[in-house]
C-alpha cells in the first residue's frame, strides 16, 4: 500500500483535533475508518506517529517532526490546485524549440499574436541543435521539426511543407541564376548539417551524387557557403530567417519539399500548449492535430 494526500490530511486532522473521535467528526468519517487510515500511513512509513497508550492522544517525536513536513506538503498542494492562484504558475514561460528557423517568415506574426493574446505568459523561442530541438530531453514544451523525425510519446500537427532552396556564395556563378536544379549542384561540394539538416546525398540520383562536407551547426554551414567552399540545400524558412553576408538563396525546381511538424509531448508539459497549437494552426493554415 502506498500513502497519498488523503493519509496526510487524516494525520493532520488527528494531530490538530487531539483525538481520533473529534478528527473523524470534523472529516465526516467514521472513527474506525480514520483509525485504519492512520495505521496505513504508519505502516507505509515504518514508524509510529501517534502514541495511543495514554488517555489523551499525543504525537510521538517522529509524529511531531512529520507533522511539520506534512503540513507544508498539503499547503503546497492546496496552493497549486487553488484556481485563484493559478496565474502564478501559468506565467512560467512556454518554450518552443527549433533547430534553426522556427516558423520561418511566419515567426514574427506568431510572436506578435501570442503577446497580444497572452500578455502575461511569455513564449520563448529556443534554438537547440538536436534532431528533436530539445523536445526529447525535456528542454522545451513543443518543437518545430523538419523532415522525418519521430519522437515517442508525442502528438503532432502537420504544418505546410516548405520548398527547398539552394544556398550558394554571392560571388559565385550560381547566385545570378533565377532557379537551379539538383544537377547544377551535383559537381559541387554540398555542406550538410549532420545533426539537424534535412539534406542527404540520396536527394540526387545514384550516378550523380555530389561530394558531401559535414558540418555541426547552422553557423558552420553558413560560413562554409559564404566562403565559397560549398553549396547547400535548405528549406525556404532558412532563407527567410538566416540572411547571411555572402550567402544567396536560389529556388530549386526539381526536388520535393520538406515536411514540417509541430510536435509536443502527450500529455503536455505546459498547460498553455493547446493554445500554442491552436495559434500555430491559425498562423500557418495547418490542419487539426492528429488523433
pLDDT at 2 over 80: no
pLDDT of residue 56: 72
Q: Are residues 35 and 152 in the same domain?
A: no
Q: Are residues 246 and 263 in the same domain?
A: no
Read off the pLDDT of each residue in 165-179 and give the average, rounded to a whole number.
Answer: 96
Q: Are residues 155 and 71 in the same domain?
A: no
Looking at 50-64, 107-121, 159-173, 267-281, which range is the least confident one? Answer: 50-64
Q: What is the CATH number of the domain that holds 104?
A: 3.40.190.10
Q: Are residues 57 and 180 in the same domain?
A: no
Boundaries of domain holding 67: 5-81
Q: Are residues 106 and 220 in the same domain?
A: no
- Residue 124: how many CB atoms within 10 A of its CB? 12
Cα–Cα distance for residue pair 41/1, rounded to 1 Å: 9
Q: DSSP state, 218?
A: H
Within its chain, how far is the Cα of 4 from the centroid? 29
Measured between alpha carbons, how far is residue 89 from residues 82, 92, 103, 113 in Å?
11, 6, 27, 21
Q: Are residues 74 and 208 in the same domain?
A: no
Q: How many domains is the chain partitioned into structurally?
A: 3
pLDDT of residue 278: 96
Q: Are residues 221 and 273 in the same domain?
A: no
Q: In the chain, pLDDT over 70 holds for what percent of residues?
A: 95
Closest C-alpha among 218, 232, 200, 215 to residue 128: 218
Which residue matches cell numbers 510572436? 111
Q: Are residues 47 and 128 in the same domain?
A: no
Q: Are residues 252 and 173 in the same domain?
A: yes
pLDDT digits (tens, 9 = 90+) for 193-211: 988 888 989 999 988 999 9
pLDDT of residue 290: 47
User: Across the chain, which distance is largest between two alpha carbons, in Å?
Assistant: 98
User: What ranges in the chain are assigned the alpha helix state H?
Assistant: 5-17, 20-27, 31-45, 61-81, 86-90, 107-117, 182-186, 218-226, 236-241, 273-284
Does 291 reside within a domain?
A: no
Q: Could you tell me the pTM of the whole model? A: 0.68
pLDDT of residue 289: 47
pLDDT digits (tens, 9 = 90+) for 235-290: 999 998 888 999 999 999 999 999 999 999 999 989 899 999 999 999 999 875 44
Cα dihedral: 158, 163, 168, 174 (round 10): 170
Does 95 reside within a domain?
A: yes
- The torsion angles phi and psi of 150, rounded to 5 degrees, stand at -110, 125
pLDDT of residue 74: 87
Boundary residue ending a domain (15, 50, 81): 81
pLDDT of residue 271: 87
Cα dihedral: 136, 139, 143, 149 (round 10): -20
pLDDT of residue 54: 59
Q: Are residues 54 and 97 in the same domain?
A: no
pLDDT digits (tens, 9 = 90+) for 62-92: 999 999 999 988 887 887 777 666 566 567 8
Boundary residue ending a domain (57, 81, 105): 81
Read off the pLDDT of each residue in 146-172 and give the average, rounded to a whole number.
Answer: 93
Q: If you average pLDDT over every residue of the chain, what do you get?
A: 90
Amino acid at each position: 500500500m502506498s500513502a497519498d494526500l488523503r493519509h496526510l490530511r487524516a494525520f493532520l486532522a488527528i494531530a490538530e483535533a487531539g483525538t481520533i473521535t473529534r478528527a473523524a467528526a470534523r472529516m465526516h468519517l467514521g472513527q474506525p475508518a480514520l483509525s485504519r487510515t492512520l495505521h496505513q500511513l504508519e505502516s507505509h512509513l515504518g514508524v509510529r506517529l501517534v502514541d495511543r497508550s495514554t488517555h489523551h492522544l499525543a504525537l510521538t517525536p517522529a509524529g511531531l517532526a512529520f507533522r511539520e513536513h506534512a503540513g507544508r506538503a498539503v499547503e503546497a498542494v492546496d496552493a497549486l490546485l487553488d484556481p485563484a492562484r493559478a496565474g502564478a504558475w501559468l506565467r512560467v514561460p512556454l518554450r518552443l524549440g527549433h533547430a534553426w528557423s522556427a516558423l520561418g517568415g511566419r515567426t514574427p506574426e506568431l510572436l506578435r499574436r501570442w503577446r497580444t493574446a497572452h500578455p502575461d505568459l511569455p513564449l520563448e523561442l529556443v534554438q537547440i541543435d538536436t534532431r528533436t530541438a530539445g523536445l526529447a530531453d525535456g528542454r522545451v514544451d513543443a518543437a518545430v521539426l523538419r523532415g522525418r523525425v519521430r519522437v515517442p510519446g508525442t502528438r503532432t500537427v502537420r504544418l505546410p511543407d516548405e520548398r527547398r532552396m539552394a544556398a550558394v556564395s554571392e560571388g559565385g556563378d550560381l547566385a545570378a541564376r533565377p532557379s537551379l536544379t539538383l544537377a547544377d549542384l551535383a559537381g559541387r561540394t554540398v555542406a550538410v548539417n549532420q545533426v539537424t539538416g534535412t539534406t542527404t546525398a540520396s536527394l540526387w540520383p545514384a550516378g550523380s551524387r555530389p561530394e558531401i562536407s559535414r558540418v555541426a551547426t547552422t553557423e558552420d554551414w553558413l560560413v562554409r557557403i559564404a566562403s565559397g567552399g560549398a553549396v547547400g540545400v535548405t528549406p525556404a524558412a532558412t532563407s527567410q530567417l538566416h540572411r547571411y553576408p555572402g550567402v544567396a538563396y536560389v529556388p530549386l525546381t526539381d526536388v520535393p519539399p520538406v515536411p514540417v511538424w509541430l510536435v509536443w509531448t502527450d500529455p503536455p508539459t505546459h498547460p498553455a500548449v493547446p493554445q500554442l497549437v491552436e495559434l500555430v494552426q491559425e498562423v500557418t493554415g495547418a490542419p487539426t492535430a492528429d488523433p
